[in-house]
Chains A and B, each alone.
Chain A
Amino acid sequence: MRFAGRTVGWSAGLVAVLCAVVTTSAGIGPVWIPPGIVGKVLLNAVVVPTGISVSGPAVDVTTAHVFSYAVSDLQTQIVMQVRLPRILLGAVVGFSLAAAGTIMQGIFRNPMADPSIIGVSSGAAVGAVGFIVAPVVIPFGLGLRGAAFVGALVAAFGVYLIATRNGRTPVATLLLAGVAIQTFLGAVVSFLLLHSGESIRRALFWLMGHLKGASWPEVTSSVVLVAVPFVVLLAYARDLNVMLLGEEDAQSLGIEVERTKRVLLALSAVITAAGVAVAGIVGFVGLIVPHVMRLLVGPDHRILLPTAALAGASFLVATDTLARSGSAEVPVGIVTAVLGAPFFLYLLRKREVHEL
């Protein structure tokens, strides 16, 4: 009970932090909107269902607004249509990268692992840059995001297949296969960039990671793509703890190690791909946030996974706010790296890095 309380307490605290960061961030921009007004705008948007009417195949849900504060239309417009989609997308991406990073560090038993370690980011890069350089028609209007998402999953699955023999996937092999595939795909991206002509700027901007031009449908689809796997991952948190003892020990404690690894890798690949597909390559979130949260709450994944994900959401929203509030917008990937790398080096010097 004490343990569950700790998880709920930390999670609630971090949700509060996230709300504060989102509210503040929504006020920051060319037009400054005080947090009080932003709060009112957000509350005005809250709806509750009041009734359901079924007429033939259509289901109509009537909703009612709970609050109706007096706020100017322009402010509502700026917050709801311009800033909030981007902010929420940033939150989802930060959430997904930090969650996937936590899982990867657990599977690899290595605090230096990050979500892209099995080639997800490189695969997404090939998909995205390939699409930018030579657009192809992708059904369902998925376009760039779709190409990146598919590229990410194909790369991750390829790495997994290469590293698997006789139904076993040793993490050391997985790590090395991931490095090799990342290098290979990096070369492909370089080659594509060389022949990208006019579109090189767009391609580079994507590669640096940014949240520009986010829209509500993107927010919705990525929330779904991240939320479902995340819930399953939470159910695996205890297994992941036991996996930290080493695979041999985990097996003798009743964990089906290979199957568990497969599930965890697949889910975190989907989560990472969902994040990378909409935001490009945003570094360091998936590496640093889990690391810092581990220092704060300890290594137990039942508390570490939700708290790291929530902290990742706040972190990316905050850094993206910095990225867009300068005179010229900077890709958020640059901001996370500029802030993250020195902090990471500080940790590296300060704390003993346990074996690879």
Chain B
Amino acid sequence: MSEQPAADDTNPRENRSGPMLDVSGLAVSFGDQSVVSGVDFSVDRGSLVGLVGPNGAGKTTVLRAVKGTLDPAAGTVYVDGEPIRNESAKAVSRLVASTPQGTNLSFDFSVKQTVEMGRTPHLGRFDRMGEADRRAVERAMERASVARFADRPFTSLSGGERQRVLLARALAQETPILLLDEPTASLDINHAVRTLELVRALVGDGKTAVAAIHDLNLAARYCDELVLLAGGGVRAAGRPVDVLTSDTLRDAFNAETLVTTQPGTDAPLVTPLPERDSVDRRVHVVGTGKPAAAAVSTLVGAGCRVSVGVVPSGDTAAERAADLDCERVTVPAFAGIDDAARQHAVDLAAAADAVVRAGEIGDGNSPVVEAGGACIAVETDESAYTSTAHDTVPLTALPAAVASLPPVPEQDATPSLNQSTTD
């Protein structure tokens, strides 16, 4: 399966080693306005690289430079080691196919006619479509699952179907490189995922693909590598887990984000946080399970320095705290709390401005709760637990409740906030 379609993409240049696509020192300006400069990245053959970044960062501009539809002010795009700058449009269109962000066809071509236009690079002015061309069109329509509405007018299709037709058109070009500009924009999650699964499959068959993708989480999940564009240049490039960190995202998007892990994969999961005044408090969370994990996320998102414990290692709350780089005191599951761990947690609680309790806490943690000055409980479904001794607030009100507490003066004797676990 992986050999067959790849063979169709055979290009005289393909046997070389080195990256399939190499962008070097690329700078583009519109008039006096510099859009991007010093953009360097390369794409290995058979991989999918995502271009991510804020609106106006130049994702589309970089794609346009790669497909040769705009002249860079500086820099060179190499396809398989050859600069494309002086190539004719026709030569480039045999190497690089692209799907546009959206197309507004004002005239009613059928789906098949639209896909057939993908053969333009392979036809001379007086050539007719030959058997090979027709087969390529059939194959492309099959691959993008648009064959069943081949005869329908393009304009009668839904957004998702149009996107697939445009992808089929690009496939009919039979190029080694595929560029996708926002292939999932305006698609619902089902169609977005199906589109990216298809791209993934194409890459598996040997295509090299670059996609500008708005949705960081989809990009993280489907791309081999990401290139983060911001402020007119590349901010970060590499594996999604290295590129999508709170720090780079803050830099690039000027936004606070919470970066965790997508369930079922090791791809990062980016959750944007609402912009608000950061709550500059030190909080110790006592509790387990989802309620405690949610409390940790919420507090970290609000800007608090958070410590957790004592929790059994492997507990959701412990994992969340690890994800978010919070100090945590863990003990092996079912082992009971030893004195050293308890003392560590008590110290953390004593040093904190507030202790927050969420979810189930064992009796062993009572001293930790007592050690804190102010204590806030988070409302849970099992509110029977709620004790009148503490303020009980819903999760959403937690940052505000913490912020309303007076900060405890810093003491020299506070335990350091270094990573420390006792198991």
Among B100, B109, B118, which residue has its beta carbon within 8 angstroms of that of A248?
Answer: B100
Contact, CB under 8 Å: A300 / B113: yes
Q: Mark A303-340, 1 if CB is under 8 A from B, else 0.
A: 00000000000000000000000000000000000000
The interface residues of chain A lying within 8 Å CB-to-CB of B92 are 252, 254
CA A113 – CA B9 in complex, angstroms? 40
- Would you call B105 and A254 a contact (CB within 8 A)? no
B334 interface residue per 8 A CB criterion: no
Instruction: Give the CA-CA distance A109 to B104 in the complex, in Å.
Output: 10
Residues of B with C-beta under 8 A to A244: 105-107, 109
A226 to chain B, nearest CB (A): 21
Q: Is B208's beta carbon under 8 Å from chain A?
A: no
Residue-wise interface mask of B (103-133) relative to A, using a CB-CB cutoff of 8 A (1 in contact, 0 not) = 1111111100110011011010110100000
Q: Mark B70-101, 1 if CB is under 8 A from A, else 0.
A: 00000000000000000011111110111010
Count, chain B residues at interface, CB 8 A: 34
- On chain B, the residues within 8 Å of A241 by CB distance are 109, 113, 117
Secondary structure of the A side of the interface? loop
Using Cβ atoms and an 8 Å threshold, which residues of chain B touch A245?
103, 105, 114, 117
Q: Does B173 contact A (CB under 8 A)?
A: yes
B-contact 0/1 string along A272-312, CB 8 Å cutoff: 00000000000000000000001000111000000000000
| Known A246-B100, A248-B69, A254-B94: A354·B121 in contact at CB below 8 Å | no
Query: Are B113 and A253 interface neighbours, CB within 8 A?
Result: no
Could you tell me if B93 and A252 are in contact, using CB atoms closer than 8 angstroms? yes
Task: Collect the chain A residues with CB atoms within 8 Å of residue B105's CB.
Answer: 244-245
Residue of B nearest to A295 (CB): B108
Q: How large is the interface on A (under 10, 10 to 19, 20 to 34, 35 or more residues)?
A: 20 to 34
Interface residues of A in 232-252 (CB under 8 A from B): 235-236, 238-239, 241-242, 244-246, 248-249, 251-252
Using CB atoms, name the residue of chain B closest to A258.
B89
Name B104's contact: one of A238, A246, A298 (CB within 8 Å): A246
Residue B64, interface by CB 8 Å? yes
A199 within 8 Å of B by Cβ?
Answer: no
Interface centre among B68, B94, B120, B121 (most CB of A within 10 A): B120
* B98–chain A nearest beta-carbon distance, Å: 5
The answer on a CB contact under 8 Å between A355 and B104 is yes
Residues of A within 8 Å of B97, CB to CB, are 252
Instruction: Verify A253–B173 contact, CB threshold 8 A.
Output: yes
* Bound Cα distance A4, B97 (Å): 28
Q: Taking each of A109, A252, A299, which has the highest tally of chain B beta carbons within 10 Å of its own beta carbon?
A: A252
Q: Is the CB of A256 within 8 A of B117?
A: no
How far is it, in angstroms, between the C-alpha of A4 and the C-alpha of B68 when the chains are bound? 33
Contact B107 A294 (CB under 8 A): yes
Among B104, B106, B108, B118, the residue within 8 A (CB) of A253 is B118
Collect the chain B residues with CB atoms within 8 Å of residue A238's CB.
120, 123, 125
- With contact pairs A111-B106, A238-B123, A294-B107 given, residues A251 and B117 touching in the complex (Cβ less than 8 Å): no
Residue B207 interfacial (CB < 8 Å): no
- B64 engages A248 (CB within 8 Å): yes
Q: Taking the complex as formed, is A77 at the interface, i.e. its CB lies under 8 A from any CB of chain B?
A: no
Which residues of A lie under 8 Å from residue B123 when comparing CB positions?
238
The answer to the question of A255 belonging to the interface, with a C-beta cut-off of 8 Å to chain B, is yes
Question: Bound complex: CA of A69 vs CA of B108, how far in Å?
Answer: 49
Q: Is the CB of B106 within 8 A of A249?
A: no
A109–B106 contact, CB under 8 A? yes
Evaluate whether A254 and B100 lie within 8 angstroms (CB atoms) in the complex, with A241-B117, A244-B105, A245-B117 already known.
Answer: no
Known: A238-B120, A242-B117. A251 touches B68 (CB 8 A): yes
Q: Is the CB of B103 within 8 A of A246?
A: yes
Minimal Cβ-Cβ distance residue in B for A356: B106
Q: A244-B105, A248-B64, A354-B106 are in contact. Are A253 and B69 (CB under 8 A)?
A: no
**Cα(A236)–Cα(B67), bound, Å:** 23
A110 interface residue per 8 A CB criterion:
yes
Query: Are the CB atoms of B120 and A253 closer together than 8 Å?
Result: yes
Bound form: Cα–Cα A256–B120 in Å: 12
For this complex, 10 residue pairs linking A to B, each with C-beta atoms less than 8 Å apart, are A109-B106, A111-B107, A239-B125, A241-B117, A245-B114, A246-B103, A253-B120, A253-B173, A254-B90, A298-B108
The 4 closest A-B pairs by CB, nearest first: A254-B93, A299-B107, A254-B121, A254-B90
Given pairs A111-B106, A299-B109, A300-B113, 20 additional interface contacts (CB within 8 A): A239-B120, A239-B125, A241-B117, A246-B103, A249-B100, A249-B103, A251-B69, A252-B69, A252-B89, A253-B117, A254-B90, A254-B94, A255-B89, A255-B120, A256-B88, A256-B90, A298-B109, A298-B110, A299-B108, A355-B104
